[in-house]
């Protein structure tokens, strides 16, 4: 099942933000699936459009600090967005930001972010009902309790899981995060809570792990709070990536079987990704497809509902990673004997 709103553009350009999130990340992925000789005619079976407005302030408050949430719903919003999307550099100059070119006010972005969180929650619901769902958005895994970080204003991953727990839909979950950057917000927000187990496979160096581990007051930078299982991959270790992933998944099995698995399926480890801060990991398309098949099979063989979010993936080629995996995964459910 694919959860995708064709009217929802992922690009940040309408807000004057020049981070290379391209519309093609979703549009070309969807086009490739529609053009597939078997999947195309069955689109009604595997495509759903998300609803919006399903994540409330109360849902955010289960995860985020009340003062921070208040700022997001007040005049402080713009400043939080500027900071989270890193739109001003240390010298006070605009960075990857051209407000003159904006078609929409920056504050309008917040509604889109909340709609994204709605989509992640619905994706989990659909996965619980149907076994597999992939949402064309989400994965804002860097958002911390009291601040947005790394283009992530709210942590839709933890917000959705906490909502599902509050609703009694699940008690436990695994988060498997294979974005190039560590799933640091998710790790910090679920630290010490055995009901959500986290596995993050990420670049050993670079953002967010290139910051000081402690601040001047001696407080731990939340990006350094460990996941239950952290698997750092050093530059040049790409040929060991799949082996490391397998070992990480094996370690995850030591924890009790969860009610749901949420995969933060970033495409930014791709060698053709265009984000500067993801350059230390350069997997080929074939390695990424193998990564995605490995995780999918691992979860399916254990009978676990599988919800996926897109997370990072920058530039004009990133759609190939999603399209390649989804053709394969949807054929698994919609082939001649499929039921999903």
Binding site for Zn ion (CB under 5 A): 179-181, 266, 268, 312
Strand-pairing partners, residue 177, are 200, 264
Nearer to Zn ion, 181 or 291 (CB): 181
Q: How far, in Å, CA of 233 to CA of 17, rounded? A: 30
| Distances, alpha carbon 335 to alpha carbons 37, 200, 324, in Å | 11, 32, 16
* Comparison of 268 and 274: residue with beta carbon closer to Zn ion: 268
Shortest CB 320 distance to Zn ion, Å: 17
Q: Which of 118, 140, 97, 112 is nearest to 48 (CA)?
A: 118
Select the residue whose beta carbon is closest to Zn ion and give its number: 312
Minimum CB–partner distance for residue 44 and Zn ion (Å): 33
User: Which residue's CB is nearer to Zn ion, number 16 or number 312?
Assistant: 312
The distance of closest approach from Cβ of residue 181 to Zn ion in the complex, given in angstroms and rounded to an integer, is: 4
The nearest distance, CB 62 to Zn ion, in angstroms, is 24
- Closer to Zn ion by Cβ: residue 147 or 179: 179
Quick one: 21 or 126, whose CB is closer to Zn ion?
21
CB of 336 vs Zn ion, minimal distance in Å? 37
Task: Say if residue 195 is preceded by a cis peptide, omega within 30 of 0.
Answer: no
121 to each of 279, 286, 302, 309, how far by Cα in Å? 30, 30, 22, 10
């Amino acid at each position: 099942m694919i959860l995708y709103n064709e009217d929802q553009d992922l690009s940040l350009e309408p807000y004057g933000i020049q981070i290379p999130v391209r519309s093609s990340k979703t549009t070309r992925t969807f086009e490739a699936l529609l053009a597939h000789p078997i999947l195309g005619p069955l689109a009604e079976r595997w495509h759903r459009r998300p609803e919006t407005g399903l994540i409330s302030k109360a849902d955010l408050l289960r995860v985020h600090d009340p003062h921070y949430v208040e700022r997001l719903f007040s005049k402080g919003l713009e400043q939080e967005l500027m900071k989270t999307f890193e739109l001003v550099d240390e010298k006070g100059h605009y960075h990857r930001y051209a407000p003159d070119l904006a078609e929409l006010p920056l504050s309008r972005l917040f509604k889109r972010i909340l709609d994204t969180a709605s989509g992640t929650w619905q994706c989990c619901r659909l996965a619980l009902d149907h076994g597999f769902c992939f949402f064309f958005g989400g994965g804002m895994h860097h958002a911390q309790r009291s601040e947005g970080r790394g283009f992530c204003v709210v942590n839709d991953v933890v917000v959705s899981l906490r909502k599902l727990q509050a609703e009694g839909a699940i008690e436990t979950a695994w988060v498997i995060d294979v974005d190039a950057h560590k799933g640091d917000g998710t790790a910090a927000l679920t630290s010490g809570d055995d009901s959500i187990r986290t596995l993050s496979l990420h670049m050993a160096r670079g953002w967010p792990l290139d910051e000081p581990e402690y601040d001047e007051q001696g407080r731990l930078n939340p990006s350094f709070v460990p996941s239950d299982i952290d698997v750092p991959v050093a530059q040049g270790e790409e040929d060991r990536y799949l082996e490391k992933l397998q070992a990480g998944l094996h370690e995850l099995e030591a924890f009790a079987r969860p009610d749901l698995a949420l995969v933060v399926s970033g495409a930014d480890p791709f060698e053709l990704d265009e984000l500067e801060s993801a350059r230390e990991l350069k997997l080929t398309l074939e390695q990424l497809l193998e990564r995605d098949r490995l995780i999918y099979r691992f979860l399916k063989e254990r009978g676990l509902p599988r919800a996926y979010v897109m997370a990072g993936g920058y530039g004009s080629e990133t759609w190939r990673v999603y399209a390649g995996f989804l053709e394969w995964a949807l054929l698994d459910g919609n082939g001649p004997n499929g039921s999903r």
